[in-house]
Structure 1
Amino acid sequence: MSSIDLNADLGEGFGRWTLTDDEELLSVVTSANVACGFHAGDAATMRRVCELAAERGVRVGAQVSYHDLAGFGRRAMDVPPAELAAEVAYQIGALEVFARAAGTRVSYVKPHGALYNRVVHDEEQAAAVVEGVRLADATLPVLGLPGSWLLKLAERAGLVAVTEAFADRAYTDHGTLAPRGHEGAVITDTATVIERSVGLARSGTVVSHSGQRILVRARSLCLHGDTPGAVELARRVRAELAAAGVRVEAFS
């Protein structure tokens, strides 16, 4: 690839509690996955992040989740499809209010946490997410894991499917993310994350948890904003991508 999008999960706080350094990360990334209140985020936070993103020309994406504030959206849940579709549409609509007030708009949708992992292999839950996106705005692209049910069904529904990769997460040999509870699932070594970022952008490959090189072709690269030193790591990743001849720009 000659170009790649950099996205990060932002707005992950509520009230007086904050998790991500939104202002600094918005100076690095090209797409912002904004928490919409179900796993994190509140009205004031959503408004502030949308305003900052608009000022800096960063695309605003709705990061939708299971309704699980206490578990940060990372607990497995069984939600009836009709209810899940409505909740996805509700979250997108809430963020759209603040995006439009800031002079921008919601440009894409990305599931979070347990929902993100569930819609990789669960056709019914994936269909519910796609229906929720269509209810809110049938022109919105959907960001997800290559080969997932989410992206397959998004394409069938006429939505734009955008593939995503993770430089700081371990992969299984099948191209799925290793569960966070497994040892080594989150990669914290800076040099390794940078090396994987460049490899994903240039060759579309990454080394799996077992040591196999696997194909992961992605248009967007996620940089987690809740890891220690996230801002400096994001800056270094962007600099190394540029040095390797990769343009960093929002996906079209």
Structure 2
Amino acid sequence: MITSPAGPIDLNADLGEGFGRWTLTDDAALLSVVTSANVACGFHAGDPSIMRRVCERAAERGVRIGAQVSYRDLAGFGRRSMDVPPGELADEIAYQIGALEVFARAAGSRVSYVKPHGALYNRTVHDAAQAGAVVAGIRLAAGEAGLPVLGLPGSLLLAAAGEAGLEPVPEAFADRAYAPGGTLVPRGEPGAVVHDPDAVVARAVGMAAEGSVTAADGSRIAVAARSLCVHGDTPGAAELARRVRDALGAAGVRVEAFA
């Protein structure tokens, strides 16, 4: 049995991405595959009833519950960058974590980590003020105990988390293209999302077993990750996640939650 270069690999997906009568992610199916669930907290998607249901199902299946925090952007699905004052953003991060914690505890579980979504995730790669605000919000919600923070390797977010005494958890994306510098190719650019299931599976195994991936320019770059993400809003996401998990197992990679 081998592990990823950083140890056992976690498999996470974005869940609860609906609102009212509108649904996007197949939460029940994904929860039978992943080890960690990034649950939308109402700012880019999700509502109280969806959050409660996802937490209940995650707790039943032993899946770790993570708060997927976002800019306040329901209309844009959290994918529009916003200039939110750091103090206000910290309050909004704490608000989202606290809301999800209520439902996680009611289900007999707890919020185990935090992962920014969309534009906030990408912004905190290089924006120190926004990264610091996310960390401050986590501290406000979780106190001295803190919570692990999922983010891009080398990002200012993970650096700020480590400096604040929070556990930084680097992740990789099996279904997203990488720039040569190790950042994600912006979604607006061609080829930013990898749609070929075979390619996604091969990339996932390469990242977990070898710690590397082929970038958009054809170069091979290092990717040190403790968690792999398969996006829940991808068509056929549950089946794709199952294929990824099966392939990791076949390659001798141990899959288990980091939190």
TM-score, normalised on structure 2? 0.96
Measure how far apart 1:119 and its partner are: 0.1
Q: Does 1:237 align with 2:238?
A: no
Q: After the TM superposition, which residues 58-97 of structure 1 pair with which residues of structure 2 at under 5 Å, given as runs? A: 58-97=63-102
Counterpart residue number, 2:230: 223
How many angstroms apart in 2 are the aligned matches of 1:227 and 1:7? 13
Match of 1:16 among 1, 7, 21: 21
- How many residue pairs align between the two structures? 252
Q: Which residue of 2 aligns with 1:43?
A: 48
CA distance in 2, matches of 1:46, 1:88: 16
Correspondent of 2:202 among 192, 195, 208: 195
User: Which one-letter code corresponds to 1:20 in the other structure?
Assistant: T
Displacement after TM superposition at 1:240 (Å): 0.4
Residue 179 of structure 1 deviates from its aligned partner by: 0.2
SS in 2 for 1:6: strand
Superimposed CA distance per residue, residues 67-104 of structure 1 (whole angstroms, 9 cap, x where no aligned partner) = 00000000111000000000000000000000000000
How many Å separate the matches in 1 of 2:61 and 2:16?
16
- After TM superposition, what 4+ stretches of structure 1 lie above 4 angstroms from structure 2? none
Between the two proteins, what is the percent identity of the paired residues? 75
Residue equivalent to 1:134: 139
Is 1:186 aligned with 2:193? yes
User: Which amino acid in structure 2 is aligned with residue 225 of structure 1?
Assistant: G
2: CA distance, partners of 1:125 / 1:198: 32
CA distance in 1, matches of 2:92, 2:55: 20
Q: What does residue 34 of structure 1 align with?
A: 39
For 2:49 and 2:89, how far apart are their aligned partners in 1? 24
Q: 2:58 is matched with which residue?
A: 53
Instruction: Give TM-score, length-normalised by structure 1.
Output: 0.99
Q: RCO (CA 8 Å, sep 6+): is it higher in 1 or 2?
A: 2
Question: C-alpha offsets along residues 43-73 of structure 1, whole Å, 9 cap, x if unaligned?
Answer: 0000000000000000000000000000000
Unaligned runs of 5+ residues in structure 1 are: none
Is the partner of 1:108 in helix, strand or coil? Answer: strand
Following TM superposition, by how much is the alpha carbon of 1:3 offset from its aligned partner in structure 2, in angstroms?
Answer: 1.9
CA-to-aligned-CA distance 1:194-245 (integer Å, 9 cap, x gap): 0000000011100000000000100000010101111111111000000000
The separation in 2 between residues aligned to 1:89 and 1:225, in whole angstroms, is 24
State the one-letter code of the partner of 1:215.
A
Match of 2:180?
Answer: 173
Aligned to 1:4: 9
Look up the match of 1:101.
106
CA–CA separation in structure 1 for the residues paired with 2:257 and 2:155:
22
2:221 to 207, 214, 219: 214
Instruction: Read off the aligned partner of 2:254 and give its amino acid letter.
Output: R
Paired residues for 1:101-120 under 5 Å: 101-120=106-125
Secondary structure of the 1:247 match is: coil
Distance in 1 of aligned mates of 2:229 and 2:238: 13
TM-superposed deviation, 1:174:
0.4
Q: Does 1:122 align with 2:101?
A: no
